[in-house]
Amino acid sequence: MPAHRLSHWLLLTCLVILWGSAFAFAKIAVETVAPEWTMAGRLLTGAALLLTCLLVAGTRLPRNGRAWGWLIALALVGNIAPFFTISWGQQHISSALAGILIGFTPLATLLIARAFVPGEFITPFRLAGFIVGFAGLAIVVGPGALLDVVTASGGDARLAQGAVLAGAFFFACNNVMARLVPDMPLLAKSSGVMLAGALMGTVIASTMTPPTALLEASAASLLGVAGLGIFSTGLAAIVFFRLIDRAGPTFVSLTNYLVPVFAALTGYLVFGEELRAGVLGGFALILAGIALSEWRHNNGR
């Protein structure tokens, strides 16, 4: 695979910002909006945005069953399944521990991509870089999270860890599936996935909580849902599929190391949350890991 271009790194940075901002938007949204409607609302808003762009661009949604089979599968694997398993898991374990477990996504992506995506190789530099990056993530979320993996007791805690790990696996599968999806226009692909996810997410949310509950939501929370939909879901989907097509799933999976750092910085700047010194040290280690994983591009396999 050729060396990653500057445009790839810019798209990766953009995706980290869009996904990283989701934590701030979600914190505002869930104050008065149920988690299931936060999920459905972000998908509905993202779908509305992308379908509008689709109409303006004069592009059509796919019209064959095979394409829609892929789009529905991507919506299930990339949105519905991980959102559900991770949300359930976070009811029983800390956010820091969840962050550690989701950090397995890049390693899982590396293994799956090696089997299904031509040109994706597991090199010593790449494997070492991902391990160093994971160590940096562990420092960012705090060493206590690693201890929780070992000391967690009770069936719910163990099942919760498994649920979050399942979410990480779903994300990894989605990274690879997005690269293998049949060729179609970028807007058609991202809009189709978002529409399928919005329809399924709305059905799921409606069975859990009546839609009338949204009438009691505050304006701030509704704006938080809108921010999630517009930036962290709709626009992020366009950037995600573009980057997957140009740079591959393993490169995109590096976002799972960088997003927690951006989220911590956002929490500090927007909400005045404590910024631990370990965040900056962990970030430096993550960057070192990324540099190591990309070393192969300049020095051969």
Indicate the domain borders of the chain: 6-299
298 has a pLDDT exceeding 60: no
Please give the share of the chain, as a percent, with pLDDT higher than 70.
92
Residue with tokens 């994706």: 120
Confidence of residue 300 (pLDDT cuts 50, 70, 90): very low
| Tokens matching residue 215 | 């009438």
pLDDT value, residue 119: 79
Mean pLDDT of 261-267: 84
Question: Which region holds residue 248: left if phi is over 0, alpha if psi is between -120 and 50, else beta?
Answer: left
Supply the pTM of this predicted model.
0.88
Model pLDDT for residues 212-261, shown as the tens digit of each residue: 999 999 999 999 999 999 999 999 999 999 999 999 999 999 998 998 88
pLDDT for residue 23: 80
Alpha-carbon span 133 to 137, nearest angstrom: 6
pLDDT at 190: 97
Of residues 14 and 149, the one with the higher pLDDT is 14
Average pLDDT over residues 47-70: 95
- Helix ranges, the chain (H): 6-20, 22-29, 35-57, 65-75, 81-89, 95-102, 105-116, 124-141, 143-151, 155-180, 186-208, 219-227, 236-247, 249-252, 255-271, 277-293, 296-299
Range with the poorest average pLDDT among 66-75, 156-165, 178-187, 289-298: 289-298
Lowest mean pLDDT among 134-138, 178-182, 189-193: 134-138
Nearest to 179 by CA among 126, 241, 122: 241
The angle, 0 to 180 degrees and rounded to 10, between the axes of the packed helices 124-141 and 105-116 is 160
Residue 299 has pLDDT above 60, yes or no: no
What pLDDT is recorded for position 215? 94
Percent of the chain with pLDDT over 90: 58
